[in-house]
Structures are given as C-alpha cells and as structure tokens.
Amino acid sequence: MKKFILTAAAIAFGLSMSVAGSAAAADAKTLAEIHGKNWPEATGWAKKDTCMGCHGSYADLAKATAKLEPNPHFSHLGDVNCQECHKGDKAEPELMCNSCHNFTLREKTPAKK
C-alpha cells in the first residue's frame, strides 16, 4: 500500500512537472505582447527608427550580439528593417538571412586566453 502511494505521488509529481513545462512554453511572450502599445504597428522600413529610439542604433545592437556568428545586427545588408527578423507575433527572431544563406546562429568559440 505504501508503495502504491509513493507511485501515485511520483505520477502526480511527473504530471505537475509536465504541466509546468507546457505552461512555461505558453508563457513565452510574443514581441507584440512584451511591447504592448509600444510595438509599432504594421510594417514598413520607417518603423526601425522607432525601434532604435529605444534599443539604440545598429552599431549598439551589433555590440550586444557581438558574440553571435554571424552577427545578426551587422551584415552587408546594412540597416535592415528590424521586423524582417523580429516578428510581432513571435517570441524568437527569425534569421531572414537564410532566405539566401544557410546559417546556423552560434556563439563564437571564445578566444583562448
């Protein structure tokens, strides 16, 4: 009997873990949700200036993601519209570069000390 209770508890624990797991996934907020009324509506290249007003220039952003290869904020495309990658209805950016390339974004191997 004792064994049964333990098993039931283990199953209940397992269930609550998986429920918590899926709740966490559902909690990943889209950019539009994070920003609320600060998310510039619709599309258009002009919108990137609004984004930069809060997040800084491409040069600043390139510093923030300098560890990534390729750096999504520094390329031959110059100052791309942010929403090419940062979609309002998504939590994670899409690498629009891959409409032409086949990059896997990775962290640079740290330089040896």
| 34 touching ligand HEC, by CB under 6 A | yes
Which residue has 């990775």 as its token pair? Answer: 106
Q: How far is Cα 112 from Cα 60, in angstroms, rounded to an integer?
A: 25
Q: Token pair for residue 32? A: 């539009």
Q: Token pair for residue 4? A: 């049964």
Question: What residues numbered 1-20 form the site for ligand HEC, per CB under 6 A?
Answer: none
Q: How far is the CB of 76 from ligand HEC (least distance, A)?
A: 5
Give residues in contact with ligand HEC (CB under 6 A): 31, 34-35, 38, 40, 47-48, 50-55, 58, 61, 64-65, 70, 72-73, 75-77, 80, 82-86, 93, 95-97, 99-101, 105
